[in-house]
Amino acid sequence: MTPGIIVINLDRDHERMAHMRGQLAAAGVPCERFGALRGDALPPDLARYFPVDAKLSPGEIGCYASHLAILQRIARGELASPQLVLEDDVGLPSDLLLALDVLIAALPERWDIVRLSYHTKRVTRPIAALGEGRELVRYSRVPTTTGAYLISASGARKFLAQRPRRLPIDHDLKRVWEWGLDTYGVSPPLIAHDVFGQSTIDALSPTGRARLHGGKRELIAPLSRLRQGIRDFGLSRWLALGPLNLAVRVTPKRLRPSIARWANARLT
């Protein structure tokens, strides 16, 4: 099964869209362009997600709302499910089409989202081999990025829950326990993240207040995080994650890849 593909791109960023179209054409894959929204000019059905006291910049709101607008179209059946959502600053592999076919075939019957564009520094649980050295994995900690992800209609509906959004989307989307998102990843990443060094779609890094608010949310949600972790890893594996992640973090950088492979193997 080949998913639909949509690229989020600001109207002024013609060169970035040309960069994306060139990569997709080389891979033999068609795409749709979605004009990124302005945070200060949202339609009412999107503006209601962002309370007036949210500590988000217009750029952060526009970025978040652009993703929500795409998810609305997926949930309504206007876009194919699954859908590959791309920001315009990613690097695509030449075997994208084949890699997506292999990935979708390896997924279980029920899944919500697959993260594709960031190399996690934490331990992962291998689920299935995807070829070319890639694996379908469960994350012990979901990466903070929205550059590229594959999402199903069920995942879109879950993340569209009518709840106030007070953090940038990359921080909300990693809190999978808050949305009940059945999340997977590809390791090493299938798609390169932020090849230009700075995204014009992605919001600026969250303000100090937003970071503090996000930290508080993590502290007050231990039970839901625990339930999610045990579901994804099983109790014995979940209990092993802390020591394994610590082993990776304290290892010198040049040795971390081999230690990470060793740690990941403990979770199979």
What does the alpha-carbon distance between residue 109 and residue 123 come to, in Å, rounded to a whole number?
24
Q: How confident is the model over 143-172, as a mean pLDDT?
A: 95
What does the alpha-carbon distance between residue 198 and residue 6 come to, in Å, rounded to a whole number?
20
Render pLDDT for 246-258 as a digit per residue (tens, 0 to 9). Answer: 888 888 878 777 8
pLDDT at 206 > cutoff 50: no
Q: Report the SS3 class of residue 174.
A: helix
- The domain locations on the chain are 4-197+205-265
pLDDT at 154 > cutoff 60: yes
What pLDDT band is residue 202 in, cutting at 50, 70 and 90? low
The whole-number pLDDT of residue 203 equals 43
Class of domain 4-197+205-265: alpha beta
Percent of the chain with pLDDT over 90: 64
Q: How confident is the model over 167-192, as a mean pLDDT?
A: 94
pLDDT at 211 > cutoff 70: no
Average pLDDT, the chain: 88
The whole-number pLDDT of residue 113 equals 98
Q: How confident is the model over 120-142, as a mean pLDDT?
A: 92
Q: Strand 113-115 relative to strand 183-187: parallel, antiparallel, unpaired?
A: parallel
Q: Is this structure's pTM higher than 0.85?
A: yes
